[in-house]
Amino acid sequence: MAKELWKGNEALAEAALRAGAEAYFGYPITPQTELLEHMSRRMPKLGLTFLQAESELASINMVYGAATVGARAMTSSSSPGISLMQEGLSYIAASEVPAVVVDIMRGGPGLGNIQPSQGDYFQMVKTAGHGDYHAIVLAPSTIQEAIDLIYDSFELAFKYRTIVTILADGSLGQMMEPVEMPEFKEWPEERPGWALTGAKGREPHTISSLYLGAENLEKLNLRLQKKLAEIKANEVRYETLMTDDAEFLIVAFGTVGRIAQSAVRQARENGVKVGLFRPITLWPFAEEELMAMTRRVRGVLVAEMNAGQMFEDVKAIAQGRIPVQFTGRMGGTIPLPDDILPALDTLIDSVRSRNGNKPEPTRAREVSA
């Protein structure tokens, strides 16, 4: 199929439709609004359900409702709207119904601004809703990858009866890239057995997140944890670049993950043996794979568009064996190779001085002759 130029938000919307989305509920918020607008244009013509809700609180609960009848339901928003959805996300997780949520992150805290950010790592990967649960969190770094990930999202959501989150930032939502759009997926007509379809010829089904009694609620939690362990075992995704002989490792996700590719190539040109580890699933995180890599390299640099949120996870994985340092930009500023390379030099220097050696002349940031 020929490549077409798509804007990130619209590509996500169209790919979600081709993945089988049947119902979309959302509320306008920059920088994700084109996703909602695309749905408003396309869904009525496809005979699907589009509804602009009165708030993000309402839209996530509409998704919750539609999910209980077995519909492939989704919503999208940006950081402040996602904060409002945390209540519904916790209920959906406890009720074990499938849902897809797109978060096109913007700068925070508070109203912040509408520029790109990765400040929702904590709220989406650690989950800001109450209780113990996780969503599968997918972090694309290109529009093609965003399409491919959301194309898988309903299958993942239904397989595990879980929330699947696409976590991207405003720049990915707003930019255009050549992509290939996949075909429409076929789904069976029949609803899953757990869905509410009316108590016809069977006992009533109920879907609830209320488990009075400590024993009952613990049972639910144990079941959820078992499911999460299964997801961890099966669904980890990540990508590496030039790690085979790497002495140093940059860990970055999403937009920063692709920018770090440029940084790695530039540093390699200057003779620095650096590789890139880019987690694609932020939950489940590629813990074992990264841990194995931290045993081979001398230092790790984490680059993010926040104050160091994934940084905490990478530090925990490295377990103090090697230096793990951080570089990041906030407030809607995207860290560019010019930001990442000096931080890489600082890491290299600190590793070498730690080993009692003088800093060597190799500099990642120097422009090669």
85 Cβ contact partners less than 8 Å away, ≥ 6 residues apart: 56, 57, 59, 60, 75, 77, 101
Instruction: Report whether 300 contacts 323 (CB < 8 A).
Output: yes
Query: If binding is defined by CB under 8 A, does position 289 make contact with another protein?
Result: no
Question: Rounded to an integer, what is the distance from CA 168 to the centroid of its chain?
Answer: 6
Q: How many CB atoms lie within 10 A of CB 233?
A: 9
The Cα 361–Cα 32 span in angstroms is: 45
Query: If binding is defined by CB under 8 A, does position 240 make contact with another protein?
Result: no
CB of residue 53 to another protein, shortest distance in Å: 7
Residue window 163-202: x/- pattern of binding to another protein, with contact defined by CB under 8 A: -------xx--xxxxx-----------------xxxxxx-
CB of residue 4 to another protein, shortest distance in Å: 8
The Cα 208–Cα 201 span in angstroms is: 21
Contacts 24+ apart (CB under 8 A), 287-292: 287/317, 289/236, 289/238, 290/238, 290/251, 290/314, 290/317, 291/317, 291/318, 291/319
Among 66, 74, 224, 347, contact with another protein (rule: CB under 8 A): 66
Query: If binding is defined by CB under 8 A, does position 334 make contact with another protein?
Result: yes
Query: If binding is defined by CB under 8 A, does position 77 make contact with another protein?
Result: no
Residue reference for tokens 């897809």: 100
Query: If binding is defined by CB under 8 A, does position 236 make contact with another protein?
Result: no
**Of the two residues 15 and 66, which places its CB atom closer to another protein in the complex?**
66
CB of residue 287 to another protein, shortest distance in Å: 26
Q: How many residues bind another protein (CB under 8 A)?
A: 66
Q: What is each CA distance from 259 to 105, 245, 311, in whole angstroms?
A: 17, 21, 17
**Of the two residues 20 and 337, which places its CB atom closer to another protein in the complex?**
337
CB of residue 245 to another protein, shortest distance in Å: 20
Q: Which stretch binds another protein (CB under 8 A): 149-157, 257-265, 301-309, 322-330?
A: 257-265
CB of residue 200 to another protein, shortest distance in Å: 4
DSSP 12-52: HHHHHHHHT--EEEE---TTTHHHHHHHHHHTTTTT-EEEE
Among 44, 206, 218, 234, contact with another protein (rule: CB under 8 A): 206
Could you say which residues in the range 138-167 bind another protein, by CB under 8 A? 142
CB of residue 18 to another protein, shortest distance in Å: 19
Q: Which stretch binds another protein (CB under 8 A): 13-21, 36-44, 259-267, 306-314?
A: 259-267
Query: If binding is defined by CB under 8 A, does position 270 make contact with another protein?
Result: no
b/e 186-219 (16+ beta carbons within 10 angstroms → b): eeeeeeeeebbeeeeeeeeeebebeeeeeeeeee
CB of residue 250 to another protein, shortest distance in Å: 12
Q: Which two tokens stand for residue 204?
A: 């009533």
Residue 232's Cβ-count burial label (10 Å; 0-12, 13-18, 19+) is middle
CB of residue 188 to another protein, shortest distance in Å: 16
**Of the two residues 206 and 319, which places its CB atom closer to another protein in the complex?**
206
Using alpha carbons only, how large is the chain's radius of gyration in Å? Answer: 22
Query: If binding is defined by CB under 8 A, does position 3 make contact with another protein?
Result: yes
The Cα 204–Cα 206 span in angstroms is: 6
Query: If binding is defined by CB under 8 A, does position 87 make contact with another protein?
Result: yes
CB of residue 330 to another protein, shortest distance in Å: 16
Q: Which two tokens stand for residue 51?
A: 């509804």
Instruction: Report whether 332 contacts 113 (CB < 8 A).
Output: yes
Query: If binding is defined by CB under 8 A, does position 360 make contact with another protein?
Result: no
* Contact residues: another protein, CB under 8 A: 3, 5, 22-23, 25, 30-31, 49, 51, 53-55, 57-59, 61-69, 71, 73, 87-88, 91, 95, 113-115, 142, 170-171, 174-178, 196-201, 204-210, 255, 258-263, 265, 334, 336-338
